[in-house]
Structure 1
């Protein structure tokens, strides 16, 4: 078993892992580029002197300026919270692909509105534009992981959903370095701060255009009774004919899952709400999904993303350009580590192990950073150069980034995209995404006040919560890698310690696959081998 060896739920033709499935996932994942860019650029742009001069920042006291900063940042998260729920209705009636187009269009409208702000008009257009942009990314953050998980082969589902996280980090890198670039190469004028706002339109426009060239989710089409189009799309994505054994098995699993849901809960708009209310097992999964994003934000990542200049000043770095440069390096490290997570870790090491290892290593690093600030008090002893202790604190901060990024940064999105049944998947992802934006909002709204009131205690606070998250994962989160979407009910219904459920379900799936093949081969359907040596059954999928 090498680092790139895939753990398959059943024998899979190599053509299934083709460029088409990667292209569809990449286009959908562009919404994360929009999110990552915003989280990276907004704090640095608000710290630019050109922005402060245009909107006469000198008229405000420190507490008033902090409040305005927090309002500008957090209105985006507030809009995203509601956008996550709007996406449930859009995704249910209009589909994943069209829903993504609608929300990318809303984002473009909001981003364009922000460009009309200036000193004469005030901050109103920025406030309104950020609410609209938030609604757009909130809806897209709901639909993108669902869309990708529904078209992904199980063995690379983590990798494909992980493209969402990769897009987030790429957007972050651009956002960090855009701020550094305009601050060092442009005069302090209107153009210097408006350019970072304008760059938001690029990933949103690319996503909107790209969505015209990819296919709708076959599983969603099945739920809407569009079977012929669903099979056509699935064959295109898999590069297989309908009579291929792999296709027979996948379609049979989808049919069985839909039939079970139809007979127990139903596939209508309100049925998922009834299922949530009446089925404790479904409610439990909703609880797990929302809790994962609480623990993600409890790591402190969004406090660092949105207010990185404040974080680096607390360690002892001085000067806007120095803080922006250090923040840019932080973004590059996250992007590089995300690539390693994407291709080597998420579908091999697994979700549970990543979360626990990342939490343990990350908490140790934050305890060190907080301890350094408590002892050295760098903000009370300013210096033009950073001390050796400050350098060590920076090293541990970057080490924290290496632990956090391949664990809590993207893994909660992967788990939430795959663990819900088909009939509640959009609603489940809506609750999960909304919880992410809710906790994100709280962090964005109160981080400045936390640093003012708690000082180094902020680092101890987040480090302690990361340790608590290990207990949560160990007892409550099962491993989901390699489990087909239609078999997630088995995984979460096992009355076993969660650390053992994955192994048992994978063994059951292997037995089921062998039984299915024996039944097909013994039914007189005349299995033959095609030119690639794959067995094919001459039977129409029903």
Structure 2
């Protein structure tokens, strides 16, 4: 019974964490669709000439809020814990979502609401991976990391189909755009309320010295307390001690002053910039506008829905069959090369056979759409998931949190930049936008070939050797034992950390 209950609670935890990913994806995905609604333009009173600016601001301001959230959420969740930090993130997001849904007739109010929701989203995307990694059992931790990306694509797809559904079945009225915007509250509420049915992070509680509460939290998520759970808790305490030793005296300056750390940081920053240079996130945010550019016409929202479906299928295929088979370097090389080729083909087709808005779908536009779908598939088996895997692998434990924080901030910063630039590029460059992204992708092939090293299957010590650093000392496996008095860790000077065998 205990094992079954623990499995149920672990699955519940996984699903709840994935709601956070779904929330972020849905929130970014709906904007491209509602910007095509005449009802939205009429209610917020902007002209056709302002469309590109409204589109870039509506999307990029969400990223700006998320970017700034990266800098204050770390100390907040370190002090107040993961659980209540997620509840706060959900609350902030929902406040922004409510303001967005109200027909204020004010673009300024809508923009402010996007920033507020962005702060909530940014907080959630930082806290949830940390919370889930600290709470999930070892046997599903890898699945959780993979499912987080899968639910992101699922959220994007859902937003596309909801936009399409309201465009077809809801009259040209305020409700047409309020329905997809208001539905943000559903995953937002599930995330916040769902956290009330969980417990606080075991590791956070243990770091605060609240060992009894930490043990209760671990017993809850494992379905009960037994020798195996007590042994796991003792190992957590050992890990916290080692982490404290590893990070003793650590400063942000180590990221740039130590040559091997500086090397890794530059690689990760370049990789996160590269994610935006592929052009896929830009196309995801503004898919209807991109599809109009290649001749989708009145079918743009329907084709956008299938675009989301293709992304989900590709991501699922990667998780099931490729995640542990392809190397990091090979995935990035193949992905950038394929995306560059597909973008170039789209550019040539659109330039040679300019789409006619009155002609409907033509063989050239169908071919272009196929290339865009293939590009999305290539991204979701390479530059979508791999840079985050690489980011989590290459930093030593001493500076991993700082490295991941800077990587996340870089992602949000350049997400903001490209969200601002893409609508203007589409409007002013037309088919040359695809040439621009094609060149970027071919440049990424060169970057990966010369600078990215393969990390698949390598241990921490091998990582340090690979990047020119010093290996951290191994933990003596004999220092961990379980006795009749409870689980114990014996350190190098004979001191013990004892987890009492509770009888209640």
Task: Output the TM-score relative to the length of structure 2.
Answer: 0.85
Is the 8 Å Cα contact of residues 243 and 540 (structure 1) preserved in structure 2? no
Matched residues in 2 for 1:365 and 1:434: separation?
A: 29
Conserved? CA contact 1:363–1:466, under 8 Å: yes
What CA distance in whole angstroms lies between the structure 2 residues aligned with 1:262 and 1:352?
Answer: 32
CA–CA separation in structure 2 for the residues paired with 1:282 and 1:229: 36
| Alignment of 1:213 onto 2:216 | no
Aligned counterparts of 1:417 and 1:237: Cα–Cα separation in 2: 24
Equivalent position to 1:130, from 114, 120, 124 = 114
Mapped partners of 1:214, 1:263: distance in 2:
30
* Map of 2:123 onto structure 1: 139
User: 8 Å contact 2:230–2:486 — kept in the other structure?
Assistant: no
Q: Distance in 1 between matches of 2:479 and 2:153?
A: 46
Gaps of 5+ in 1: 1-13, 499-504, 527-535
* Equivalent pair of 2:43/2:103 in contact (CA under 8 Å): no
Work out whether residues 247 and 399 of structure 2, in 8 Å CA contact, stay in contact via their aligned partners in 1. Answer: no
Report what 2:500 is aligned to. Answer: none
Alignment correspondent of 1:313:
292
**2:187 maps to what in 1?**
203
Q: How does 1:292-303 map to 2 (within 5 A)?
A: 292-303=271-282
Deviation at 1:241, TM superposition (A): 5.9
> Residue 459 of structure 1: CA displacement?
1.5
Kindly indicate whether residue 90 of structure 2 is the aligned counterpart of residue 104 of structure 1: yes
Structure 2 residues not aligned, in runs of 5+: 490-496, 498-504
CA RMSD of aligned residues (A): 3.5
Distance 1:358 1:65 in 2: 32
Task: Find out whether 1:194 has 2:178 as its counterpart.
Answer: yes
Within the alignment, does 1:70 sit opposite 2:56 as a pair?
yes
- Distance in 2 between the 1:136 and 1:409 partners? 22
Is this contact kept in 1: 2:43–2:174, CA < 8 A?
yes
Matched residue SS, 1:47: coil
For the residues of structure 2 that align with 1:238 and 1:262, how far apart are their CA atoms?
26
CA offset digits 1:303-353 (Å, max 9, x no partner)? 21221122111211212xx10000001011112222222333324435444
Going from structure 1 to structure 2, the CA distance change for 1:537 and 1:495 (only over 3 Å counts) comes to farther
What is the SS of the residue equivalent to 2:383? helix
- Residue 116 of structure 1 deviates from its aligned partner by 2.3
2:365 matched to which residue of 1?
Answer: 390
| CA drift at 1:384 | 2.2
What does 1:98-497 correspond to in 2, within 5 Å?
98-119=84-105, 122-152=106-136, 156-234=140-218, 236-237=220-221, 243-244=227-228, 248=231, 251-252=234-235, 258-263=240-245, 265-266=247-248, 271-276=250-255, 278-319=257-298, 322-378=299-355, 381-417=356-392, 419-420=394-395, 424-474=399-449, 476-477=451-452, 488=460, 490-495=461-466
- 1:231 positional shift: 4.5
Compute the displacement of 1:180 (Å): 0.8
Q: Of 45, 50, 64, which residue of structure 1 is paired with 2:39?
A: 50
Cα distance between partner residues in 2 of 1:539 and 1:80: 41
The separation in 1 between residues aligned to 2:393 and 2:159, in whole angstroms, is 30
Whole-Å separation in 2 of the counterparts to 1:452 and 1:421: 44
TM-score by length of 1: 0.80
Contact map agreement 1:215 1:233 (CA 8 A) in 2? yes
Worse overlay, 160-169 or 339-348 = 339-348
Q: In 2 relative to 1, CA 137–426 (structure 1 residues): closer, same or farther, beyond 3 Å? A: farther
Structure 2 vs 1, CA of residues 134 and 21 (structure 1 numbering), >3 Å: closer, same or farther? Answer: same
- Cα gap change, 1:383 to 1:28, in 2 (>3 Å): same
Q: Distance in 1 between matches of 2:424 and 2:22?
A: 28
Residue 492 of structure 2 aligns with which residue?
none
Distance 1:291 1:206 in 2: 35
Q: Distance in 2 between matches of 1:339 and 1:189?
A: 37
Distance change >3 Å, CA 185–CA 399, structure 1 → 2: same
> d(CA) in 2 for partners of 1:22 and 1:482?
27
SS of equivalent to 1:540: strand
CA distance change for structure 1 residues 222 and 152 in 2, over 3 Å: closer, same or farther? Answer: same
1:249-273 Cα offsets, whole Å, 9 max, x none, are 8854x55654454345338xxx453
Secondary structure of 2:361's aligned partner: coil
Q: Give the superposition deviation at 1:475.
A: 5.1
Shift of 1:476: 4.6
